[in-house]
Chain A
Amino acid sequence: MTDLLQLLVFGIVFGSILTLGAIGVSLIFGILRFAHFAHGDMMTVGAYFALIFVAQIGWPIYMALPAAMIGAALLAILIDQSVYRRLRRTAPVILLISSFGMALLLRAAVQLIWGTDNQVYQPGINVPYVVFDIRIKPDHLVIVGASVILVFAFHLFLKMTRMGKAMRAMSDNVDLARVSGIDSERVVIWTWVIGGALAAAAGVLLALDTRLNPQLGWNVLLPVFAATIVGGIGRVYGAIAGGMFIGIATELSTAVILPAYKPAVAFTLMVLVLILRPRGLVRGMN
């Protein structure tokens, strides 16, 4: 029983990270209608951005995290304006190819700049708290706490601001949003700001939980997509449910399956959901 509760803790931690990635994938799909394959590697880049602030300037992680989010948001805008924007007029599937190429491009750039070795933000042991035989590391609290704050902030943005409203409108019906006078290019830019920033946050938190390496984000791309699809692709609130579901389920599965197969578990759950409820647990888009 204790073992399962312990895995549940790991699952909530992993789920918090996946949620941040899945919100971005779902939002980008909702507005631009393509699955963004470079999202995992955007997470990696964000994690390394934070490393610059931690290692070079000596900032604590809670200051490096927002800085990395800003850096990744700017990078996302740069990628969109230089490449994706020009491809948007063609079929969405061309964007899919382009983003797959972008994934490898970003990973190669990370390898080129930071090398392939494993790195950590702060060396040393993260002494866990022990509550009823369950071990919880301080970093775990940071991860879940940061994730809750960011998701709540994103929720307020969607519900309270004009831009948030415009985003929801565009996600529901692009043409209708356009004819009612919404500046779609501005919405697209904000989509990348939020997608990029949340991806960076997910990357930093994942690196905090594990270690930095160039494969960091690519390795969780499949669980992130699974979370997005389980939550109903294009439905950002579903992404929260999907992220937690995939996170907890994959961690619990390690009680019976080799941990190396975690991505396979996420994938199998995704396929099951696609067969049983093709539009996701929360009704997603076509």
Chain B
Amino acid sequence: MELGGVIEYGLFFLSFVGIYALLSLGLNLQWGLTGQFNIGIAGFFAVGAYTSAILTTAPSPHHLGGFGMPLVVGLIFAMVLAGLVAVLVGLLTVRLRTDYLAIATIGIAEIIRLMLKNEEWLTNGVRGIPGIPRPFAETLGAGTLGQSDAVFLLVVVALILIVYLALEAARRSPWGRVLRAIRENEDGVRAAGKHIERFRLEAFVVGSMIMGLGGALFAHFVGFISPEAFTPEFATFLVWVMLIAGGSGNNKGAVLGALIIWLVWTGTEFLTSMAPPEYVTQAGALRLLMIGILVQVILLVRPDGLLPEETAERK
């Protein structure tokens, strides 16, 4: 491969890492800090992606809108809508133990996926939404593809930096301490007079908004979205593997996990691509199988991840 190709692939690779890092950071706020079990990441991811896509694409007879709005509006509303869905799920489940939250989130994610498939007036069904613009596409003009990849990566990195710094500040703040206390000892925090349900809801909603942002960026990066992209395998499970591998409770770990697991994931693609073409579907299943085994091994051997949570009192 020539140098230009390598750089282009590197930009493409890192952009995906960036999108997954945002999902992983969102999950870290919910699971890592607060101990909330969200396995409906795909749902919030999809809401963000579709919201921004519908708002920013050119008008189309095949789905709602598009409204041709600027990208910033798309990103903001992606977060708002994902947040609203989270408020709904959160209000229903804050009082219940975490198993119910798990079931509720997976339920919402599946319902969202069913709607994406069946509500054609809204989403164009399985045919999906094409022509979603890249950031600064108009200012840059129709430049080379590599150029637009580089700009996209810069935007993603900037957003990750903002989210990361905000989450680190939140983690160190009294608010973050209460979240961790809830995770460790719910009754104790309640006895200390904190309104547990409110803290939980806040963490869940903010985490889901970050996932919505990740979804919007995904839509703008790939330019075309359909319900296929929001299956639990790719949009939920990989994110969990990333956070657990990186170290839940640690924001640096969340980002590192995204990088390493995406490297492993694309590595398995490289391995299985050497298989004969008639085994293509089997190769896909084999990749999932390998990741499935990997997560069990991590849970058994290194449950705290590569970068365990930093706490003063830990042994």
- Residues of A that sit less than 8 Å from B by CB: 29, 34-35, 37, 83, 86-87, 90, 93-94, 96-98, 100-102, 104-105, 107-109, 111-112, 115-116, 221-222, 225, 229, 233, 258, 260-261, 263-264, 267, 270-271, 274-275, 278, 286
Near A by CB (< 8 A), chain B positions 101-121 give: 102-104, 106-108, 110-111, 114, 117-118
Q: B244 contacts the other chain (Cβ, under 8 Å)? A: yes
Quick one: given A222-B107, A274-B92, are A101 and B35 in contact (CB under 8 Å)? no
Interface pairs A-B: 8 shortest CB-CB: A105-B292, A111-B285, A108-B288, A108-B289, A267-B107, A101-B295, A112-B285, A35-B99
Q: How far is the CA of A54 from the CA of B241 in the complex (A)?
A: 37
Q: Contact: B292 with A87, CB < 8 Å? A: no
Q: B266 contacts the other chain (Cβ, under 8 Å)? A: no
A83 is contacted by which of B110, B111, B289, B300 (Cβ under 8 Å)?
B300
Q: Contact: B118 with A96, CB < 8 Å? A: no
Contacts of B114 in A (CB 8 A): 260-261, 263-264
Quick one: given A263-B111, A267-B107, A286-B97, are A115 and B281 in contact (CB under 8 Å)? yes
Interface string of B283-315 (1 = CB under 8 A from A): 011111101110110011001000000000000
List the B residue with the shortest CB-CB distance to A109: B289
Q: Contact: A112 with B289, CB < 8 Å? A: yes
Q: How far is the CA of A98 from the CA of B298 in the complex (A)?
A: 10
Contacts of A107 in B (CB 8 A): 288
Quick one: given A98-B299, A111-B281, are A264 and B288 in contact (CB under 8 Å)? no
Question: Can you report 6 residue pairs joining A to B where beta carbons are below 8 Å apart?
Answer: A83-B300, A94-B303, A104-B288, A108-B285, A109-B289, A112-B282
Contacts of B293 in A (CB 8 A): 105
Contacts of A112 in B (CB 8 A): 282, 285-286, 289
Contacts of A264 in B (CB 8 A): 110-111, 114
B92 is contacted by which of A37, A97, A98, A275 (Cβ under 8 Å)?
A275
List the B residue with the shortest CB-CB distance to A106: B292
6 additional A-B residue pairs with CB within 8 Å, beyond A109-B289, A111-B282: A101-B237, A101-B292, A111-B281, A115-B281, A271-B104, A278-B96
Q: How many residues of B contact A (CB 8 A)?
A: 43
- Residues of B that sit less than 8 Å from A by CB: 35, 37, 39, 92, 95-100, 102-104, 106-108, 110-111, 114, 117-118, 232-233, 237, 240-241, 244, 281-282, 284-289, 291-293, 295-296, 299-300, 303
Q: Contact: A97 with B299, CB < 8 Å? A: yes
Quick one: given A93-B35, A97-B240, A101-B237, are A108 and B299 in contact (CB under 8 Å)? no
Q: Contact: A260 with B117, CB < 8 Å? A: yes
Contacts of B39 in A (CB 8 A): 37, 100
Give A102 Cβ to nearest chain B Cβ, in Å. 7
Q: How far is the CA of A286 from the CA of B187 in the complex (A)?
A: 15
A116 is contacted by which of B37, B118, B281 (Cβ under 8 Å)?
B281
A108 is contacted by which of B35, B232, B286 (Cβ under 8 Å)?
B286
Q: How far is the CA of A18 from the CA of B108 in the complex (A)?
A: 20
Q: How far is the CA of A90 from the CA of B302 in the complex (A)?
A: 13
Q: Contact: B300 with A34, CB < 8 Å? A: no
B292 is contacted by which of A93, A96, A102 (Cβ under 8 Å)?
A102
A94 is contacted by which of B99, B287, B299 (Cβ under 8 Å)?
B299
Q: How far is the CA of A115 from the CA of B283 in the complex (A)?
A: 11
Give A48 Cβ to nearest chain B Cβ, in Å. 13
Q: How far is the CA of A105 from the CA of B237 in the complex (A)?
A: 11
Q: Contact: B96 with A274, CB < 8 Å? A: yes
Contacts of B296 in A (CB 8 A): 83, 98, 101-102, 105
Give A239 Cβ to nearest chain B Cβ, in Å. 15
Q: How far is the CA of A274 from the CA of B96 in the complex (A)?
A: 9
Q: Contact: B110 with A222, CB < 8 Å? A: yes
Contacts of B289 in A (CB 8 A): 105, 108-109, 112
Q: How far is the CA of A256 from the CA of B103 in the complex (A)?
A: 25
Give A97 Cβ to nearest chain B Cβ, in Å. 7
Q: Contact: A260 with B299, CB < 8 Å? A: no
Quick one: given A94-B299, A101-B295, A264-B114, are A35 and B103 in contact (CB under 8 Å)? yes
Q: Contact: A87 with B37, CB < 8 Å? A: no
A104 is contacted by which of B100, B237, B244 (Cβ under 8 Å)?
B237
